Structure 1
Amino acid sequence: MNTEILGIIIMFALTLALAIPLGRYIAKVYSNEKTFADAVFNPIDKLIYRLGGIDHNEEMGWKRHLKILLSINFIWFILGMIVLMCQGWLPLNPDNNPNMSPDLAFNTSISFVVNCNLQHYSGETGLSYLGQLFLMFLQFASAATGLATAAILFNALKERTTEKLGNFYVYFVKSCTRILLPLSLITAILLLLNGTPMTFEGKQDMVTLEGEHVQVSTGPVAAFTAIKHIGTNGGGFFGTNSAHPFENPNYFTNMVEMIAQMIVPFAMIFALGFYVKRRKLSYMIFGVMTVGFLLLAVPTVIAEMNGNPALSQMGIDTSAGATEGKEVRFGAAASGYWSIATTVISTGSVNSMHDSAMPLSGAMQLLAMMVNCFYGGCGVGLLNFYIFIILAVFISGLMVGRTPEFMGKKIEAREMKIAMIIALLHTLLILSGTALSTAYPEYGACTLNNPGFHGFSEILYEFTSSSANNGSGFEGLGDNNPWWNITTGVVLLLSRFLPIIGPIAIAGILASKKHVPESAGTLKTDTSTFGLMVFAVIFIIAALSFFPALALGPIAEYFSLA
């Protein structure tokens, strides 16, 4: 077997092997069962509750959950704006990096609050260490927000009637202390032992192989890189993200970072099964997501390993694959696999330049974010998939003449309206943003570095990445200007919180309904047959919504190469 392919299989297998016990642990954390970590973290949790004046025994309804979530995220956004616009004269700025402009600070603060980490700046020159540290805090907070919302969903899916769905503060704190912090610490230590810097010193003088002296940025990179992957954030400490040799020194760290960004989304799927005591349901969800992931990853890896056909026709050796924009220490296969994992998971980190990917690979990366429910980010991936489950249950019920039910609760018109609005919102934000930027080239398209089909793909990718809370980019786009900062900032805001509000509202409404025991007429939602139905609904919605846009960009570019 090709060693590059073997490396990919090992990465996926290790992630799955670690995710199942982690899922069991997460389910125990959110259900307040005893775990081995209680002795260490219980005192820390209690101290946080005491300092924050939090009644951790209070039970909240879904509306109060959302009110708290939106309130604290707004506060973090304002604090982020202040830090970024004033970093030039604040402490921990040894390299004297300047303040951010208001529009860039607006975009950056929103981006990190919503777990997207879209970066219209270069980390080593655009941020002070204080700015990097505050963004690191937001990487914990945004990931914990997503995990807390998933915990609310777990609670709502239990087989009983209630309007009380736990305590948001407890879910949030436990997500930080019990899940994100330990995993980030382990990841950071592994990176540190393999050469990733962890310092508060400024630029360091280094000698190149040619004997020249250069100033190289360092900083608290190991800690930043760890939480960016564990929290499915993706923001790079350096401009080139995990293609930078300090963020990702070798193939081992590449495997560590790949497993780190996939393990929590995997584990949350199994945690759902353990929490609601329906493991077959989690297997169905994981199966559908994995089939979708493989349908995206396999063509991408093949395309990157085969290389550019135009070069082959010119007699140029492409046996190493499409090597432009890639690091030789990873290779074409691992880079292609990473590009799909990071767009499916919504991490958005990169270990190669997506702008240099083959057209078919670019199409798969775009489609991964357009679907936006295969694994997904911390917690919110399950919320997105939950919307498609509701749609599939309703459609299946109409097809077979049964009352649409999920987990013992009837799906009625109110829930369907919310689900359809959320499902179509993603399409609206991507296509409307792309249309405006191409219709008014003096604002959007004028900053393109590539003409034709690829230039259109760059615009489409920017809004797709923003709407999917991904953060990666084709990077052929001059995106640090008021047009891109403001338009993508608005998309980031709407695409983060409305898709959280919708599923939690549906879950809260269903939880308050009377539980209907299963009978011979109940539609089974934990079978492979229903899994195929969910996959069909996802495929139809994605195909109908995005195929025309893909045809104008990467698909047209693919045929032009041939």
Structure 2
Amino acid sequence: MTVSGWAYMALVFVLVLASAIPLGLYIARILKGEVRFLAPVERGIYAICGIKPDRPMHWQDYTVALLLLSVIHVVLLYAMLRLQQYLPFNPQHIAGMSPRLAFNTAVSFATNTNWQAYVPEAQISNGAQMFGLCVHMFVSAAAGIAVAGAVMRAFTASNLGSLGNFYADLTRITLYLLLPAAIVVGLVLVWAGVPQTFAPFATVHPLIGGAQTIAVGPMALQEAIKELGTNGGGFVNANSAHPFENPTIWTNILETWALLVIGFALPITFGSMIGKPRQGFVLYTAMAAILIAGSIGAYAAEAHGNPLHVAAGISAAPGNMEGKEMRFGIAASTTFNVAATGTSTGAVNSFTDSYMPLGGLVPIFMMQLGEIAPGGVGSGFYTIIVFALLSVFVAGLMVGRTPEYLGKKVQAKEIKLAMLSFLILTFFILVGTGYTVISKTGLSSMANAGPHGLSEMIYAWTSATQNNGSAMAGITADTPWLDYGLGTAMLFGRFAFLIPVLAIAGSLAAKPKLPASSGTFPTDTLLFTGLLIGVIVILGGLQFMPADTLGPVAEHFALFSGKTY
């Protein structure tokens, strides 16, 4: 671990955490309908789509609107991927995807997962990238933030029947947040060297002879929303390790900032929406503490290098560089990796399959915690709110006080819905992994044996279910079982969690807001921050520890005994 490495990490976190505060206040103004600099465009969208932005929606209406839009988008993207050979902007004449791969990809991008079981350069056209995948990057991210806004409104008033209007929220978030931010970040990336062109792939003739095909296309804008929307689907297969997607250390900093900043801004938005900034800072602090701890852990594991090299008399300096870009080094690689798995981004600038066992455990565990550090845009916020409700419930049981959060009583209905949502996620991760490693079709997709192969499969099912989208590699993802199985896990991971969350929000919104009393457990203190982190680690992460012990932990101890996989 070096001074420059520590300085890099400090710079990234200072930039993210500082800029998240004004951005969070700005998002609050968007959700309140106070930002209107594109009002004519906004009104035009409402008129064309028949949207009545002032029409209130109960939680059931809000949920149905979100689900219907998601179904329509899955169907449209599936058709686009199957028929892309007949559609424009396909200079390479790429054929349509197989039914199972198109299903997996359509579900992946509609759920903000962006799992890529395909090779982008060979299996998807520029048109499908722009009008299919990139559009979904905006819509799925905006939908997540819209749900977060609906949850925030549940705490703003007494006996509130409406959570807002989903279509108005979706439109405003896209127009006033995601689109302007993506244009600015995209232009900076173009200036830094990221291609933004409709030209066909370039063919060059290197000095050693022969010919080489270089993939180019409309990368910069997709790269921008890929990070800002915590999507992660790269234009090329190497993702942010490719010099076209991520040319320099400065673009690496920019992309790390982009994938984190909105997630950290939303707790600040929450504090502003409810008129209690300290409540937002508690969630913000818990997110930051977990992310920083994970980043330090991964950096330490990789900086210490491979013990087998040390035993063979090979210097451990500069650490484990396998699978990492020489342009970036260990600190910039591990920080990006942990940021991408602490959110639901799934982008990579190094390859987790080459990490040391404990270095690979960190991103797995970050996802298993529920991706709340700071999580996907929107989804990270409403997930940590569910953890906050569980925390006040646990605190109430310990001290004999009525569970209450921000003036809203937390009763059996909310706790049952919260536990149901978490148990569904746990089921898909553990049962999916378990069946895969004992079935013939599952084992045939694994390239590695022993605990490392298990780690790769735990990672895949965790990534799909938690809507992350990154992969440890080492598996053949485009198989019937994984295409359909992981696709189903993505659907349940997004909607089987999101629907109970909206039901909780609807239940809390309908309750009267009670004034604080002597029996109210304070939730704006350092004590509650520590309790919240403890509940996240225990309820969110430790249920996976037996599986993680058989995977990366077992591989770590096997490595010290000289065994590799």
Cα distance per residue 1:329-350 (max 9 Å; x no partner): 0101111111111000111100
Q: 1:173 aligns with which of 146, 171, 180?
A: 171
Aligned to 1:412: 411
Q: Tell me the amino acid that sits aligned with residue 79 of structure 1.
A: L
The structural deviation recorded for 1:82 is 0.2
Q: Tell me the amino acid that sits aligned with residue 539 of structure 1.
A: V
Aligned to 1:422: 421
Identity among equivalent pairs (%): 39
Do the aligned partners of residues 52 and 543 (structure 1) sit closer, same or farther apart at CA in structure 2, a change above 3 Å counting? closer
Query: Would you say the 8 A contact 1:188–1:223 is kept in 2?
Result: yes
Query: Would you say the 8 A contact 1:386–1:503 is kept in 2?
Result: no
Write the distance in 2 (CA, Å) between the matches of 1:557 and 1:358.
Answer: 9
1:443 match: secondary structure: helix
Q: Tell me the amino acid that sits aligned with residue 5 of structure 2.
A: E
The structural deviation recorded for 1:435 is 0.7
Q: Which moved more, 1:198-207 or 1:58-67?
A: 198-207
Cα distance per residue 1:76-101 (max 9 Å; x no partner): 00001100011122211111111100
Aligned to 1:233: 231
TM-score by length of 1: 0.97
Q: 2:298 aligns with which of 293, 297, 300?
A: 300
Aligned to 1:516: 514
Cα distance per residue 1:116-135 (max 9 Å; x no partner): 00000111111011110110
Q: Tell me the amino acid that sits aligned with residue 431 of structure 2.
A: S
Write the distance in 2 (CA, Å) between the matches of 1:540 and 1:59.
Answer: 38
The structural deviation recorded for 1:400 is 1.1
Q: Which moved more, 1:445-454 or 1:103-112?
A: 445-454
Aligned to 1:384: 383
Q: Which moved more, 1:293-302 or 1:361-370?
A: 293-302
The structural deviation recorded for 1:212 is 4.9
1:81 aligns with 2:93: no
Runs (4 or more) in structure 1 with deviation over 3 Å come to: 207-213
Write the distance in 1 (CA, Å) between the matches of 2:239 and 2:207.
Answer: 23
Give the root-mean-square deviation of aligned CA atoms: 1.2
The structural deviation recorded for 1:209 is 5.7
1:6 aligns with 2:12: no
Write the distance in 2 (CA, Å) between the matches of 1:318 and 1:82.
Answer: 51
Q: Tell me the amino acid that sits aligned with residue 397 of structure 1.
A: G
TM-score by length of 2: 0.97
How many residue pairs match? The answer is 557
The structural deviation recorded for 1:263 is 0.8
Q: How does 1:245-264 map to 2 (within 5 A)?
A: 245-264=243-262
Write the distance in 1 (CA, Å) between the matches of 2:178 and 2:97.
Answer: 29
Aligned to 1:54: 51
1:402 aligns with 2:426: no
Aligned to 1:30: 31
Cα distance per residue 1:141-165 (max 9 Å; x no partner): 0000001001101111113221112
Write the distance in 1 (CA, Å) between the matches of 2:22 and 2:379.
Answer: 20
Write the distance in 2 (CA, Å) between the matches of 1:363 and 1:202.
Answer: 40
Q: How does 1:371-520 map to 2 (within 5 A)?
A: 371-372=369-370, 373-440=372-439, 442-520=440-518
Write the distance in 2 (CA, Å) between the matches of 1:5 and 1:534.
Answer: 27
Cα distance per residue 1:26-83 (max 9 Å; x no partner): 00111122x4xx33x1111111001101111111111100000000100000001100
Q: Tell me the amino acid that sits aligned with residue 435 of structure 1.
A: G
Q: How does 1:88-487 map to 2 (within 5 A)?
A: 88-133=85-130, 134-208=132-206, 210=208, 212-372=210-370, 373-440=372-439, 442-487=440-485
Q: Tell me the amino acid that sits aligned with residue 472 of structure 2.
A: F
Q: Which moved more, 1:481-490 or 1:86-95?
A: 86-95
The structural deviation recorded for 1:474 is 0.9
Query: Would you say the 8 A contact 2:389–2:410 is kept in 1?
Result: yes
Write the distance in 2 (CA, Å) between the matches of 1:542 and 1:129.
Answer: 39
1:533 aligns with 2:531: yes
Write the distance in 1 (CA, Å) between the matches of 2:493 and 2:264.
Answer: 22
Q: Tell me the amino acid that sits aligned with residue 526 of structure 2.
A: S
Aligned to 2:563: none
Query: Would you say the 8 A contact 2:20–2:261 is kept in 1?
Result: yes
List gaps (5 residues or longer) in structure 2.
Answer: 561-565
Aligned to 2:22: 21
2:255 match: secondary structure: helix
